[in-house]
Structure 1
Amino acid sequence: MQIFWQLRWYFRQQWRRYGGAIVILILVSLFELLPPRAIGWIVDGVVTGEITLPVMLSWLAGIAVLWFVVYILRIIWRVWLFGAAAELGTVLRNRLYRHFSSHPPVFFERYKTGDLMARSTNDVNAVVMTAGEGVLTAADSLIMGLAVLFVMTTMLSWELTVLALLPMPFMAMAVFRFGRQLHSCFSESQAAFSDLTDKTQETLNGVRMIRAFGLEQRQQADFADVVDRVGEKNLAVEKVDAKFDPVIQLTIGMSFFLSIAGGGYMVSQGRLTLGDLTAFALYQGLMIWPMLAMAWLFNILERGSAAWKRLQHIFDEAPEIVSGDAALAATQQDLQVDIEAFYWNGQTQPALSEVNVTLQPGQMLGIAGPIGSGKSTLFSLLLRQQELKQGSISYGGISITEADLHHWRSRFAVVSQSPFLFSRSIAENIALGRPDASMAQIRAAAQAACIDEDIIQFPDGYETLVGEKGITLSGGQKQRISIARALLLEAEILVLDDALSAVDGKTEHRILANLRQQQKQTVIVIAHRLTALEQADTVLVLQHGQIAEQGDHQTLIGAGSWYGEMYRYQQLEQAIKEAK
């Protein structure tokens, strides 16, 4: 029953629905107590010959009307109760989505995508069933069971009632034991389902690589192993689940045997009439559902409890990055970066140290350096995807740790080195950040990103569906669509994180020239191909997490250090390719 206490916050929100459903359920239970007693009177009347046919028919007609009323009331309370439970699923999934969105990337390194999907589907469904079927079985079995026991004890025979209840303690002990087994098995089955979901998602995402390496058979064998483990865990759940019904049926059978045998003896002794025994048997029939419901309730509660623990484990993880409440200026401001040192978790060497730069509105900052020099780390700190503890990053004199996190990130339009496209049309992908943008605005952004000519060549033009993750497009096309999407936002700061690596040099030059014409935007370009930094006002060259060189493109070439040597090497490489 602990799961009901844990969900009390939702029951308080929906107290009208749950309260109304339980009130109607009480009325239904009271109405259902009348027919067995009435039938008992009819039987006694028939045995003694004191009841006439018209009177009997009127009694039967009244019982039929009563059952029809019960039928209508049952529909009403089920709509209220299960409607409230279904809404809990919506609340939990929205809460999970907001929770996922508030976490930095490190959170998704701890939890696999398939695991999070499984918690958002199977675990939520189990909790919803607890808030619906669980509340139903708990309330219905308790109300009906107590009502029937009261009538059987006070109006018929308390001795016969005690006799009928003798097998119940044995059922209670068995159900409690099976419930604990079910909790453990269901937790393991949900964890196995998480592994299956993650394996499926991972395999489908990497299907091209799997085919390219000829790994289909091996992947099929690995997938079959995961499926078999899930099947074993689910079978363990079903084995425990299968123990409930035989115990309940045996208990019900023993209860009926004892009550009929004892009742028959009491009728023969004149201590009970045949009508009373008939009514008692009918009331005992009403007790079948409460007995079944109590076993089913334990089943539901253990599943719900296991699922809620998995969800609560996610909810209990507080976001490592907390938003401030300071308001940023409405106009563009200077971006000041003063990083003393930044360490990744578990690292003893700083990923960045002594990095200081000021970027004024409308300027272009280039960032270069060998692999592992700290370029992407600097990008993560700028977006506050990682928390800087030694140093500060400020915008217009306000530290980003004090600024409203949503407002700060909304100042950026980002194109990452691995662009992500949704399974929608090209136009919808470009207008992702501005769904109200007109087609003219979408095309203007596409032209600035040098992708418009490619798009109009497609049979459906801007309405072309790109497939999951843009699978139908080339790498360069995906990058340019992502750039168009970022340009359409007209954000204050545009960040290109190696976002031109898949386009040719001529197209790269045209895109960067278009960006320079938009003097309103501040641009940060992180690139391995140094021609992308030719138009930057300032270029930072990072090595081992520190600024090794700083200046404009021409100055760094003339310095003859890493930047100049790498630029000449890339120029030579390009000349050799063109010569071929």
Structure 2
Amino acid sequence: MRLFAQLSWYFRREWRRYLGAVALLVVIAILQLIPPKVVGYVVDGVTQQRYTATTIWMWIGLMVAIAIVVYLLRYVWRVLLFGASYQLAVELREDFYRQLSRQHPEFYLRHRTGDLMARATNDVDRVVFAAGEGVLTLVDSLVMGCAVLIVMSTQISWQLTLLALLPMPIMALAIKRYGDMLHNRFKLAQAAFSSLNDRTQESLTSIRMIKAFGLEDRQSALFAADAADTGAKNMRVARIDARFDPTIYIAIGMANLLAIGGGSWMVMQGTLTLGQLTSFVMYLGLMIWPMLALAWMFNIVERGSAAYSRIRAMLMEAPVVNDGTESVPDGRGVLKVAIDQFHYPQTEKATLTKVHFTLQPGQMLGICGPTGSGKSTILSLIQRHFDVEKGEIDFHGIALPKLKLDAWRSRLAVVSQTPFLFSDTVGNNIALGRPGATQEEIEHVARLASVHEDILRLPQGYDTEVGERGVMLSGGQKQRISIARALLLNAEILILDDALSAVDGRTEHQILHNLRQWGEGRTVIISAHRLSALTEASEIIVMQHGHLCQRGQHEQLVTQPGWYRDMYRYQQLEAALDEEPSEVTDA
């Protein structure tokens, strides 16, 4: 029952709908009390030969009219009640999505995608079902049950009512125990479903790799194991679920046995008429639904409570990066990075130490270094995916934690090293950040990213559907479309995180040439493994083991002993060896 307390905020807000539904349920309960009473009158009237055929048909007509009215009222309260519960589903999913969009990478290090999807779909459905069907069964069972008990005890016989209800306390204790067991087992079943969702999501997103390595049978076996575990945990839930109905029917059977036995004795004693006993048995039949509904209510509410606890745990999780309060000053500003030390969450070794540099408006910064040296971490800190624990990054002389996140990130255009395209047209993917961009603007940035000609060769040009994650495009095309998307934002700071790794040298040179023209007055930060992408940078910093080991312009670094000179010579030699076969072929 704690779920109703947890959702009290919603019930208070939508009190008109719920009060209207409850009022109609009360009216329906009162109307349903009339037919058994009428049947009792008819039975006594027939046995005593007091009613004519016309009178009997009149009573039958009354019962038919009551049935029609009850049908219409049931339709209205279902619209009120379930309309309110479906609105709750919309709000919970909106809150859940808003919460996910506020979170930062640290959150997604701890929570897997499949689990989040399960909470947003399956768990929300369970909560909504409890908020609709659960409220219905609670109110309906209480109203109908209390009304029938009052009529049975006041209009027929309170002694026979007490006798018939003797099995009910035992049934109530059993149902309460089943409800507690169901809550715990259903929570485990939902967690298993999340794991199964994770496995499905990972398998589908990596299907190319699975096929390339011939891992279909292995992945199928892993999926089957997860499915078996989920099935076993749901079977444990079903075993508890299956105990509700037999317990109720046994209690109802015992109540009927006691009612008929005790009622027959009272009829023989003359303290009860046959018509009254008939009405009593019919009223007792009306008690079947409240009892079943009460058990059903415990079932669905405990499921909803377990699901809501999983949703609340996610909604209550505050972002590790807090929003600032200050707006970003107008105009282009100086970006100053002074990172003394930074650790990723739950790691002891520092990822970055003593990284200091300053970027003036219009400058281009190149960042290079071996894999795992901290290049992407610097870019993540500039974007405020994490906060610096020792040191600070400031813009316009204001520390980033003081700035409003949305305002700061609106100054950035980012192309990550793993470009993501939505299952939409090429044009809509480029215009993601500016949905209102004109076709001319889209084509202009596509030319800057050297992808315009490639797009025109697609079946429908800019209207071509790229498939899920851009499945029908090459890696280089996806990277260049992502660059075009960033350029369309016309942001002050452009960040390219190894965004040219999948394009050839000639295309890379053309894109960099276009960026230099586009980037006049704008700050550009390029992280790259291929050093030819950094030759025109205003300054290059070389990262090794999380700290800055070299800095300067390209002409300076190629003459200094160190990683940059060695890697540049190696890449030049590699490029020369790649050109030799083509020269031999041309000859």
Q: TM-score range by the shorter chain?
A: over 0.9
Q: Equivalent residues in 2 for 1:53-452 (5 A)?
A: 53-452=53-452
Cα distance between partner residues in 2 of 1:545 and 1:168:
70
Cα distance between partner residues in 2 of 1:12 and 1:243:
34
Q: Equivalent residues in 2 for 1:29-68 (5 A)?
A: 29-68=29-68
2:552 aligned partner:
551
Change (3 A) 1:348 1:257: closer
Cα distance between partner residues in 2 of 1:349 and 1:469:
34
Change (3 A) 1:349 1:175: closer
CA contact (8 A) 1:490 1:521 kept: no
CA contact (8 A) 1:431 1:488 kept: yes
Cα distance between partner residues in 2 of 1:221 and 1:301:
35
Aligned-residue offset at 1:344: 2.3
SS at match of 2:210: helix
Aligned-residue offset at 1:137: 0.7
Cα distance between partner residues in 2 of 1:49 and 1:214:
86
SS at match of 1:248: helix
**Please, what TM-score do these two structures have when normalized by structure 2?**
0.97
Show CA shifts across 1:502-554 (max 9, x none). 00111111111111112143211011111111121111112222222222222
CA contact (8 A) 1:134 1:301 kept: yes
Q: Give the letter for the 1:508 counterpart.
A: E
**Please, what TM-score do these two structures have when normalized by structure 1?**
0.98
1:536 aligned partner:
537
CA contact (8 A) 1:93 1:120 kept: yes
Q: Give the letter for the 1:529 counterpart.
A: R
1:485 aligned partner:
485
SS at match of 2:339: strand
Residue range with higher mean Cα deviation, 420-429 or 540-549: 540-549
Show CA shifts across 1:259-303 (max 9, x none). 122112211221111221121122111111100011111111211
Cα distance between partner residues in 1 of 2:272 and 2:328:
85
Cα distance between partner residues in 2 of 1:243 and 1:470:
50
SS at match of 2:59: helix
Cα distance between partner residues in 2 of 1:166 and 1:350:
70
Cα distance between partner residues in 1 of 2:198 and 2:349:
33
Q: Give the letter for the 2:54 counterpart.
A: P
SS at match of 1:391: strand
Q: CA RMSD in A?
A: 1.3
SS at match of 2:340: strand
Show CA shifts across 1:448-481 (max 9, x none). 1111111111111111111111111111011001
SS at match of 2:402: coil
Cα distance between partner residues in 2 of 1:355 and 1:250:
75
CA contact (8 A) 1:323 1:404 kept: yes
Aligned-residue offset at 1:379: 0.7
CA contact (8 A) 2:415 2:486 kept: yes
Aligned-residue offset at 1:559: 2.7
CA contact (8 A) 1:369 1:528 kept: yes
SS at match of 1:358: strand
CA contact (8 A) 1:333 1:396 kept: yes
Q: Give the letter for the 1:562 counterpart.
A: W
Structure 1 segments (4+ residues) deviating >6 Å = none
Residue range with higher mean Cα deviation, 194-203 or 368-377: 368-377
Cα distance between partner residues in 2 of 1:330 and 1:46:
93
Show CA shifts across 1:48-67 (max 9, x none). 22222222222221222122
2:578 aligned partner:
577
Give unmatched runs, 5+ long, in structure 2: 582-587
SS at match of 1:340: strand
Cα distance between partner residues in 1 of 2:299 and 2:67:
30
Cα distance between partner residues in 1 of 2:345 and 2:282:
68
SS at match of 2:365: strand
Q: Give the letter for the 1:542 counterpart.
A: M
Aligned-residue offset at 1:386: 0.8
Q: Give the letter for the 2:525 counterpart.
A: I
1:502 aligned partner:
502
Q: Give the letter for the 2:567 counterpart.
A: M
Change (3 A) 1:30 1:357: same
Show CA shifts across 1:148-180 (max 9, x none). 101111111001111111111221122122222
Q: Give the letter for the 1:549 counterpart.
A: Q
Q: Give the letter for the 1:286 counterpart.
A: L
CA contact (8 A) 2:141 2:289 kept: yes
CA contact (8 A) 2:179 2:298 kept: yes
CA contact (8 A) 2:106 2:345 kept: no
Show CA shifts across 1:247-270 (max 9, x none). 111111111121122112211221
Cα distance between partner residues in 1 of 2:256 and 2:64:
26
Q: Give the letter for the 1:555 counterpart.
A: Q
Cα distance between partner residues in 2 of 1:568 and 1:501:
18
Cα distance between partner residues in 2 of 1:227 and 1:482:
37
Give unmatched runs, 5+ long, in structure 1: none
Cα distance between partner residues in 2 of 1:148 and 1:369:
80
Q: Give the letter for the 1:9 counterpart.
A: W
Aligned-residue offset at 1:346: 4.2
CA contact (8 A) 1:557 1:567 kept: yes
Aligned-residue offset at 1:392: 1.2
SS at match of 2:103: coil
Aligned-residue offset at 1:348: 4.1
Cα distance between partner residues in 1 of 2:444 and 2:162:
84
Size of the aligned set, in residue pairs, is 580
Q: Give the letter for the 2:352 counterpart.
A: L
Cα distance between partner residues in 2 of 1:448 and 1:273:
96
Show CA shifts across 1:92-127 (max 9, x none). 111111111111111111111111111111111111
CA contact (8 A) 1:493 1:522 kept: yes
Cα distance between partner residues in 1 of 2:350 and 2:65:
80
1:524 aligned partner:
525
Change (3 A) 1:13 1:520: farther
1:465 aligned partner:
465
SS at match of 1:225: helix
Show CA shifts across 1:326-349 (max 9, x none). 011132211111112112234444
Q: Give the letter for the 1:249 counterpart.
A: Y
Q: Give the letter for the 2:153 counterpart.
A: T
2:584 aligned partner:
none
SS at match of 2:559: helix
SS at match of 1:189: helix
CA contact (8 A) 2:115 2:198 kept: yes
Cα distance between partner residues in 2 of 1:36 and 1:347:
72
